[in-house]
């Protein structure tokens, strides 16, 4: 009798419960990946649809002490064991607080910086250490056009996404064995984050009208469209050759 083949492809996805992260997770599960999803809540359906492949941890990624405590439990290390190809997609993020510098509550600034930067960087370090003997390991930070263009009212979002871009550039230079890293900007995707942006007061976010227009003229991608393109690229040989990528600039596949 042959023993069941081990799961050789495993992915850790933050913010897997909604929006782009949920679509990325589904796209990976459909390709046979085993998933470890990290968010404050659980996905309403994924564990029922893929009972043997979905693992979830409820964690507030805007709190460094929670992240440290969770990493110390060893769940990440145990999950990666025995895999051949392992992925970390740092997707969870927030566009808040929105508004000029003087109107950004400092405690919200702190939580946003932890969620958008400290959590991805802490998870990346833990992932790199735990996967050091594996033959194919890839880290993708979900970036944004805001990392590369400045917008009034988006100081924290622009700064935190730019930090991810620069982290990828530097880590790529480390030249760690079998490690590929890059940030991927997904374009404008029809998620709760976009809904919230369209509801912000224009005085706080002068570009609001542009995002309303993109929605009204049908120019947002669906989470599924963005996720398919993202995963195709992440799993391709091209991933990691350029540290910062925008899905909108990739040739159609
Ligand atoms: P979203 O719809 O708001 O979903 C955010 C996800 O992050 C949810 O799964 C949420 O799960 C999780 N999350 C939020 N706060 C968290 C926390 N404190 N701890 C743990 N998990 C948390 O956002 P989205 O539009 O899909 O965005 C996903 C990524 O794409 C973000 O990094 C965003 O910056 C980037 N992006 C989006 C767009 C766009 O147009 N949508 C464009 C460029 C870049 P829980 O609520 O269950 O915790």
* Ligand 1 mean position, distance from CA 10 (Å): 21
101: buried, middle or exposed (CB in 10 Å: 19+, 13-18, 0-12)?
exposed
- Give the residue among 40, 62, 179 at the shortest CA–CA distance from 118: 62
Tell whether ligand 1 has an atom less than 6 A from the beta carbon of residue 222: no
Tell whether ligand 1 has an atom less than 6 A from the beta carbon of residue 181: no
Query: In this structure, are residues 124 and 139 in contact, taking their beta carbons and an 8 Å threshold?
Result: yes
Give 179's contacts (C-beta < 8 A, 6+ positions apart): 128, 131, 137, 138, 139, 171
Over residues 198-234, the pLDDT tens digits come to 999 999 999 999 999 999 999 999 999 999 999 999 9
Over residues 157-199, the pLDDT tens digits come to 999 999 999 999 999 999 999 999 999 999 999 999 999 999 9
- Domains in the chain, CATH or no CATH each: 9-188+222-247 (3.40.50.720)
> pTM score, two decimals?
0.97
Tell whether ligand 1 has an atom less than 6 A from the beta carbon of residue 17: yes
């Amino acid at each position: 009798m042959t023993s069941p083949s081990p799961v050789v492809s495993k992915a850790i996805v933050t913010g897997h419960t909604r929006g782009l992260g949920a679509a990325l997770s589904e796209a990976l599960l459909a390709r046979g990946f085993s998933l470890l999803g990290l968010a404050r809540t659980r996905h309403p359906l994924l564990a029922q649809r893929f009972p043997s492949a979905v693992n979830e941890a409820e964690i507030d990624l805007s709190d460094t002490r929670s992240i440290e405590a969770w990493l110390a439990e060893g769940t990440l290390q145990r999950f990666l064991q025995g895999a051949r190809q392992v992925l970390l997609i740092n997707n969870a993020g927030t566009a808040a607080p929105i508004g000029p510098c003087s109107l950004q509550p400092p405690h919200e600034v702190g939580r946003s910086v932890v969620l958008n930067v400290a959590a991805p960087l802490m998870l990346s370090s833990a992932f790199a250490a735990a996967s050091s003997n594996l033959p194919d390991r890839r880290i993708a930070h979900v970036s944004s056009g805001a990392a590369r263009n400045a917008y009034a009212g988006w100081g924290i979002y622009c700064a935190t996404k730019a930090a991810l871009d620069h982290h990828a550039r530097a880590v790529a230079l480390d030249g760690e064995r079998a490690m590929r890293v890059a940030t991927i900007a997904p374009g404008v995707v029809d998620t709760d984050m976009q809904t919230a942006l369209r509801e912000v007061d224009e005085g706080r976010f002068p570009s609001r009208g542009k995002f309303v227009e993109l929605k009204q003229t049908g120019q947002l991608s669906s989470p599924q469209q963005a996720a398919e393109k993202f995963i195709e690229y992440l799993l391709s040989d091209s991933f990691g050759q350029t540290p910062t990528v925008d899905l909108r600039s990739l040739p159609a596949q």
